[in-house]
Chains A and B, each alone.
Chain A
């Protein structure tokens, strides 16, 4: 008798890991031993403290995993599996499973699970014990290509650094460079890097100046050169070189130099659009010129995506481009309206400040004026300058902020003391609704002018925030406003409107919540970082999160960000305007699974900050 339970086989094969077994004759044998069970909402699939010998497959419905004291760990929907962790531990389960929506469950005997787990690599890979691990493996397998954007800077180092002591003379230095065929030397004093000497320095500072070749290198070197850490990305070196107009960057591991990266190394490795774009921006002398460049931005963006750059690198590049536009416009503005009468600092807010900008973001900016500012005398100058810059940013593809958070708004163009007053008020007497709107002000970075003003303000913010735990409670509550799009009943909750009704918003429901969560922790530990990943590092070091959780958040951010960036790239290629919306039907099962894992992490971390910064109920 040939019995084939097609209905069950087909249902299983629609989902990983069984989709991998579609051609395996064992699958049919396994299905013959499946048991089917209907459970109503509220019933237990695995009761607390009871041994489990079954792998469960949710054919329809939804189940929640509960940990100690019935704390919710995660929710699972159609097509998901549970119970496997206990099978790998001989039946002991640390989590209990309760049905939250009437469910039809397929019960697969432990014996089959263990057999497939032993025999089939892709099957066992799937069950890597928790989803954080699953996510990590997935991200790593995606980042296999070594491009400039993704490769660590150490991979560009060709040799050990050539060094000379600070009291060595120029003649010796030149000879060492010639012998070793290098264009730079590192200058050391007591085993520490104190300077750098380059080809160009020999030409400009020695030969052209007619210096004696016995002069010690210490006299002509560049003191305290810009350095980078061995863990940094190659692309960051490129951006630094462009920004500072330098050609050599010593790379440190700990405090020890391990090599030098030169522009030559970089060009040899790869050449990239974003770098040329930035240097082009600084060369422009007219608005028309800048506008023309802004049209190339989408191209640069798609190039970066195609080059397998991760979201961190893309965010970094797009923010540097954005900053370059702001800086260049302010330089041109100062030419047009004259030198500023009092010092000021133009600050970027939100994603640009965090260096997490993507394609097509609204401008969010403000102006901090020196306390010498007198509105009667100086008001007109800064109003004109700000209006002009904001208007032209709009022309260059950075639309005006719909919330009017721009330097052109008088409210956000104030002297430092007024800014400090603003923040003290927000922090000491937080109002939930206002704070929701204001959260981008807590990501604030000076991009042009007297950056000390921005630093001073940031210091003030950190001090006040740390001293007012009640404020963190409000921020934590705000960070819980936007929930990941995981419903009880469906896999993804769609929230788009009109043409986008089959979509959900990755930014609102994934990226922003993570940024919000991290900001709260960052304020709690007094971190002076703005970038979400850098903040996470500080948070991790401060021990605010249980082990491994900071990394989970970073991975979740990368996963969600990656899906957004790819979807935006696809939109651009279809000549549509890039949005933050994505239609789950257009995602691969790989993306869907890991996106869901990422959202689970966000949900859990939202829960965590709720009680971590619970405060007093009013």
Chain B
């Protein structure tokens, strides 16, 4: 957890205006022919586009562990949205059979059984489809490092080139929002929890059963809407917020 948090905070410091559009153009040239090249060629939104015009996709991964080099993605869920509306029409959910065996511990967390996974296709067979869903979207996640690192590794394995995407991180946003509380309050109060469920409760969002990729994606989508209505300016450029 602490490691997750540290990575998230590191993200906040190297937050100079990121021109994802320019970077996508550069990677489009560098990437080998194939789906990943087409993904970069499709590009992404300009850094001065307002938040309210940004096509978003809430995404969540479930993995066999926390180490992107050793562990693997076993399921993905995503829901398209914008700053006001989440559209279930377009929601996606995939399971992926890991190359290595699944350890018993992560099975209990995800409630995905060995049988279910044994019948699922391996990740490299579904990554093309996932790329087409990600195309043109700013990705909404809770804690950027997991999704970003695991998908980068997955793309490296499959295409020999990393996958990157611009991100709105609800954990990061929450961290900044909590930072706005006066210093004296921060001293007295316990450090606010940045867990997804704790963040949601701050906005009176209902409690969900965690650790299903699609539910968690929906969960962070709703959290982002709440955060936007409380803390963000829909007319501000997306570059103010993306990572």
Contact = CB atoms under 8 A, between A and B. Distances in A.
Interface string A213-242: 000000000000000000000000000000
A6 B88 CA distance: 12
Contact of A38 (B89, B214, B225): B225
Given A38-B229, A60-B206, A102-B226, A5 B214 contact: yes
Contacts of A34: 88
Contacts of A6: 212, 214-215
B222 interface: yes
Nearest to B212: A6
B204 A61 contact: yes
B55 interface: no
Interface residues of A, number: 27
Given A6-B212, A60-B204, A104-B205, A40 B87 contact: no
A3 B91 contact: yes
A1 B226 contact: no
B206 A104 contact: yes
Interface in B197-243: 203-206, 208-209, 212, 214-215, 218, 221-222, 225-226, 229-230
Interface in A32-63: 32-40, 43, 59-61
A40 B212 contact: no
A4 B215 CA distance: 10
Could you tell me the dominant secondary structure of chain A's interface residues? mixed
Interface residues of B, number: 26
B88 A7 contact: no
A7 B225 contact: no
A35 B85 contact: yes
Contact of B85 (A2, A8, A37, A40): A37
Nearest to B215: A7
B164 interface: no
Contact of B87 (A35, A59, A101, A102): A35
A598 interface: no
Contacts of A60: 204-206
Contact of B89 (A7, A33, A43, A61): A33
A35 to B, nearest CB: 5
A3 B222 contact: no
B162 interface: no
A100 to B, nearest CB: 12
Contact of B92 (A3, A8, A61, A107): A3
Given A35-B87, A38-B225, A101-B204, A7 B218 contact: yes
B131 interface: no
B125 interface: no
B159 interface: no
A37 B204 contact: no
Contact of A36 (B92, B222, B230): B222
Contacts of A1: 92-94
Interface string A1-18: 111111110010000000
B81 to A, nearest CB: 8
A332 B144 CA distance: 87
Interface in B60-112: 84-89, 91-94
A2 B75 CA distance: 13
A7 B222 contact: no
Contact of B93 (A3, A38, A102): A3
Contacts of A7: 208-209, 215, 218
A550 interface: no
Contacts of A8: 88, 218
A38 to B, nearest CB: 4
Interface string A101-124: 110100100000000000000000
Contacts of B203: 38, 102
A104 B88 contact: no
Given A1-B93, A7-B215, A102-B204, A38 B209 contact: no
Interface of B: 84-89, 91-94, 203-206, 208-209, 212, 214-215, 218, 221-222, 225-226, 229-230
Given A11-B206, A32-B89, A102-B203, 7 more contacts: A1-B93, A3-B93, A8-B88, A33-B88, A33-B89, A40-B230, A102-B226
Interface of A: 1-8, 11, 31-40, 43, 59-61, 101-102, 104, 107
Q: Which 5 A-B pairs have the closest CB atoms?
A: A38-B225, A36-B86, A60-B206, A102-B204, A34-B88
